[in-house]
Amino acid sequence: MNRIATTVRNSLAFKVVISTLVLSLVVIYIAGSALNSQLANGIKQVNIDSAVIEARSTIFSAQYRFVLAQTQSDAVIKKVVEEIISSATTLTSNENAREVIFLRSPGNAYRINYEVSSNGVDLNSIPKTLRKQVQKTDKLEWSYIRVNYSGGEDIPGLAIGQNVFIPNAGKYEMYMLFSLANQNATLILIQKYLYLTGLFLVLLIALITWFVVRQVVRPVRQAAQIATQFTAGDFRQRMNVRSSDEIATLGSAFNEMAESLEKQIARLENLSLVQQRFVSDVSHELRTPLTTLRMASEVINSFGESFDPILARSSELMVAQLDRFERLLEDLLEISRFDAEVAVLEPVEFDIIGLINRCADDLDWVAKQHSTDLRIYSISETLPVTADIRRVERILRNLFTNAIDYAEEKPISITVVASDEDVAIGVRDFGIGLDESALPRVFDRFWRADPSRARTRGGTGLGLSIALEDARLHNGELEAWGRPRKGAHFVLTLPRHAGHGINSRLIKLTPDDYHE
C-alpha cells in the first residue's frame, strides 16, 4: 500500500487519471440516478394508467351487473359475484396475475356476506390506509401493496379499489390487484444495464485519459530526468523534438535553455578556476617579498627607541600592517582551498574543553584591553572529540575574537553542551549586536557589520566565512543570531566523531536571556 501511495503521490499521470475517474464517477452516478429515476417513474406511471383504466372498466361493469340483478334471488346474485371474479381474474403465473377482492364495508348490517378473493389471495393484503381512502369517496383509489397468497407466497402489486353496492348484501369495497413483478424485473434489468454502462464509461474515460495524459506527461518526465542529470553535472542531454505542437515548442525552448546553461556554467567554471589559480598564485608569489619586508621591518623596529616619535610610530604601523597582510594571505590561501574543494580533514582525538580554555587564555590579554572577559560554562571538565584540531581551534579563535571586538566592555559567555553524538558551543556577547536583516550576510566574505569601526579592529573580513567552511567540512553547522544593542549569539554544532553528521541542535540559537 505504501508503494502504491508513493507512486500515486509522485506521478502526475496517476493524479490526473484518478481525479478524472473520481469526477467521472460523480457525474455518471448523478446522471445515472436521474435517468434511472425518470425511467422508473415512466414505467410505473404507464402501469398505473393502464391498471386504472382496466380497473375502472371492470368495476363499472360489475356495478352495472349488480344493478340489473337487484330483483334477483340471493343465489343469482352470488352467481353474479362469482362470474365477475372469474371474468376479471387471470389464471396465469404470479408475474402477470390479476386478482379481485370483495370486502364488506364497515356498518354493513346485512346477513349475507360476500367477502371473497380470487385464487386464495389473503384478504389482509389490502392495507387499512387504502380501505379508509376508498370508504371516504366514490372515486377510484390506489396504492402499492404486497399481494399475499394462502400458500405463503407474496409478490409486489398495485391495488385499485372503489365502493360497490351488492343487492340484498349492502355496501362493499371491490379491489382489483395487479402484479408488478414484471415491472420490478424490468427496473432491476434497467439498473443493472445502467451500472454496467457506467462502469464501461468510467473504464473508457480512464483509458482515454491515460493515453492523453501520457502524451503530455512523457515530455515533462523526460525534461525532469534531463534536469536531474543537469543537477548531477551532465549537461549533454537534450529533449527529443519530433513534432511542431506546443509540447515540441516547450522541448525546443528547453533545449535552448540547456545549451545556454551549459555555455554559461562552462564559462563560470573556467572563470572560477582562473580566479582560484590567480588567488593561489598571487598569495604564493607575495609570500617571498612579504617575508623580506617582515625581516626588514623587524630590523627597523628594533632600532625604534632611537627614532623620533614620528618614525617610531611609522615603524610600529608598518609591522602591524605586515602582520595583517600575512594573515590576509593565509586566509586567502585557505579560501582558495575551499573553493577548489581540496580542503581535507586531519582528525585526531582531543579534549575540546581544554582547547576552549587554551584559546580563552591566549586571548585573555586582548580581552582585558577591551575591558571584557571570557566566561566558560560547562558541566564537565573534559570532553573528548575526534576532529581536526587545527580547524576547530581556528573556529574558536575567530568566534572569541569577534565577540571581544564587539562586546562593548561586557562579559562574554561561552557555553558548552554535549551528547553522545554531538557537541555544541555557544558564544554570547552583549555588545552592539546585529541587525536582523544583516544576519544572512554575517558569513559572507569581506562583509562587515559596522564598516566605520571594523577597519580599526584589524580583521581580514574572512574569519567567519572560513569558520563556517571549517564547520561544514566537519558535517557540522555554524549559526548566528543578533539584535541591535542586545548582542550576538554564535552557535557551533559539531559531531563528536569525524565523518558523522549532527543529530540535534543542543543549544538554541535564540538565547534564553533575550526577551522582546
Answer positive or negative: Cα dihedral of 355, 357, 359, 361.
negative
86 and 182 housed in the same domain: yes
Q: Of the ranges 163-172, 295-304, 411-420, which one carries the lowest mean pLDDT score?
A: 295-304
Does residue 21 form part of some domain? Answer: yes
Q: In the chain, pLDDT over 70 holds for what percent of residues?
A: 78
Query: 155, 186, 217: which is the final residue of a domain?
Result: 186
Q: Is the pLDDT of residue 17 over 60?
A: yes
Query: In the prediction, which pLDDT does 455 show?
Result: 42
Q: How confident is the model at residue 295 (pLDDT cuts 50, 70, 90)?
A: confident
Greater model confidence, 482 or 152:
482
Tell me whether residue 241 is in a domain.
no
| Predicted pLDDT at 9 | 63
Band (pLDDT 50/70/90 cuts) for residue 319 is low
The residues, any chain, with a CB within 8 Å of residue 483's CB and separated by 6 or more, are: 433, 434, 435, 436, 514
Residue 2 is predicted with a pLDDT of 63
Average pLDDT of the chain is 82
pLDDT (tens digit, 9 = 90+) per residue, 31-41? 888 888 888 88
| pLDDT tens string 327-361 | 666 666 666 666 666 678 889 999 999 999 999 99
Q: SS3 of 458, please?
A: coil
Categorize the per-residue pLDDT at 141 as very low, low, confident or very high, splitting at 50, 70 and 90: very high
Same domain, 391 and 328: no
What CATH number is given to the structural domain containing 281? Answer: 1.10.287.130
pLDDT confidence of residue 149: 87
- Summarize pLDDT for 98-113 with one digit per residue, the tens: 889 999 999 888 888 8
| Verdict on whether the full-model pTM lies above 0.75 | no
Q: Report DSSP letters for 231-295, one per residue.
A: HTT---------S-SHHHHHHHHHHHHHHHHHHHHHHHHHHHHHHHHHHHHHHHHHHHHHHHHHH
Give the residue-averaged pLDDT of 113-118.
89
Residues 358 and 319 in one domain: no
Q: Are residues 120 and 148 in the same domain?
A: yes
Residue 48 lies in a domain: yes
- Residues 58, 177: one domain? yes
Q: What is the CATH number of the domain that holds 60?
A: 3.30.450.20
pLDDT at 211: 81
Residues 98, 63: one domain? yes
Given a cut of 70, whether residue 252 has pLDDT beyond it is: yes
Residue 217: inside a domain: no
What pLDDT does residue 513 have? Answer: 84
End position of a domain, from candidates 162, 186, 210: 186
Q: Both 360 and 472 in a single domain? A: yes
* Residue 451 lies inside a defined structural domain of this protein: yes
What confidence tier does 235 reach under pLDDT thresholds 50, 70, 90?
low
Q: Is residue 503 part of a domain?
A: no
Confidence band, pLDDT 50/70/90 cuts, at residue 475 = very high
What is the pLDDT confidence band of residue 215, given thresholds at 50, 70 and 90? Answer: confident
Q: Which residue has the cell 557540522?
A: 476
Instruction: Tell me what the mean pLDDT of segment 397-411 comes to.
Output: 91
Residue 176 lies in a domain: yes
User: Residue 453 sits in which domain range?
Assistant: 348-495
185-208, pLDDT tens digit by residue?
888 888 898 889 888 888 888 888
User: Could you give the CA distance from residue 390 to residue 337 in angstroms, rounded to a whole number?
Assistant: 15
Taking residues 256-267, what's their average pLDDT? 75
pLDDT value at residue 450 = 56
Residue 246 has pLDDT above 50, yes or no: yes
Task: Round to whole Å and give the CA distance between 110 and 88.
Answer: 25
Residues 268 and 401 placed together within one structural domain of the fold: no
Q: pLDDT tens digits, residue range 168-190?
A: 889 999 999 998 888 888 888 88
pLDDT given for residue 456 in this prediction: 44
- Which three cell numbers, joined as nine digits, stand for 99? 386478482
Per-residue pLDDT, 452? 46
Q: Are residues 487 and 379 in the same domain?
A: yes
pLDDT confidence tier of residue 410, bands split at 50, 70 and 90? very high
Binned at pLDDT 50, 70 and 90, residue 396 comes out as: very high
Q: How far apart are CA 83 and CA 104, in angstroms?
A: 18
**Domain end (from 154, 186, 218):** 186
Quick: pLDDT tens for 78-87: 999 989 988 8
Pairing label, strands 154-166, 170-179:
antiparallel
Give mean pLDDT, residues 307-321.
69
Could you tell me if 490 and 480 are in contact, meaning their C-beta atoms sit under 8 angstroms apart? yes
**Residues paired with residue 149 on neighbouring β-strands, in sequence order:** 121
Tell me the pLDDT tens digit for each residue of 354-391: 999 999 998 998 899 999 999 999 988 899 999 999 89
Tell whether 50 and 115 lie within a shared domain: yes
- The residues, any chain, with a CB within 8 Å of residue 319's CB and separated by 6 or more, are 297, 298, 301
Is there a domain that residue 134 lies in?
yes
Residue 500 vs residue 326, higher pLDDT: 500
Q: Which pLDDT tens digit goes with each residue over 442-458?
A: 888 777 665 444 444 44
Q: 481 and 355, same structural domain?
A: yes
Residues 408, 432: Cα–Cα separation, whole Å: 7
Structural domain count, the chain:
3
Mean pLDDT of 250-275: 71
Same domain membership, residue 403 and residue 442: yes
